[in-house]
Structure 1
Amino acid sequence: MAGNPPKRKVSRSNTRSRRAQWKAEAPTLVKTVENGKTVYSRPHQAKVVTDSQGTELFLEYKGRKVADV
């Protein structure tokens, strides 16, 4: 269901100043060290586990397998 129609025209400057408040945020990253390499990953997200050739094997979360790829 749509809201009520506007009572009056919104000026261009008001529209643009409102839109200017929307800003992209940098994703939060967690720094971990795995096998001597520093890895940055997003918190609370499953990680793709790969073998030595780079083939994706499964998804892992908190050290447990959660899904097949």
Structure 2
Amino acid sequence: MAVPKRKMSRSNTRHRRSAWKASVPTLVKTVVDGKTVYSLPHRARVVEDSQGTPLFLEYKGRKVADA
């Protein structure tokens, strides 16, 4: 395990930590049954029935897994 040779100042520590930022995910807008749905690209979509019960996972119009 790497061990620092000298103490890192509080200013340098905070400056280093502040460089890590969370990025906003890119969403893809699709229209499903007349409703606009935003989803993450390259992810399976959960197909639900009219009551909201998850039925299966779908990717590019194909069933890929049971929910």
TM range (shorter): over 0.9
**Matches for 1:16-27 after TM superposition, within 5 Å:** 16-27=14-25
Gaps in structure 1 of 5+ consecutive residues: none
Residue 5 of structure 2 aligns with which residue?
Answer: 7
% identical aligned pairs? 75
User: For the aligned residues, what is the CA RMSD?
Assistant: 0.8
Runs of at least 4 residues off by over 6 Å: none
Residue 49 of structure 1 aligns with which residue?
Answer: 47
| Number of aligned residue pairs | 67
One-letter identity of the residue aligned with 1:47: R
In 1, the alpha carbon distance for the partners of 2:57 and 2:38 equals 16
In 2, the alpha carbon distance for the partners of 1:32 and 1:25 equals 22
In 1, the alpha carbon distance for the partners of 2:33 and 2:60 equals 17
1:18 offset after TM fit, Å? 0.5
Residue 68 of structure 1 aligns with which residue?
Answer: 66
One-letter identity of the residue aligned with 2:43: Q
Gaps in structure 2 of 5+ consecutive residues: none
Write the deviation string for residues 8-63 of structure 1: whole angstroms up to 9, x where unpaired: 00000000000011111111100111121111000000000001111100111111
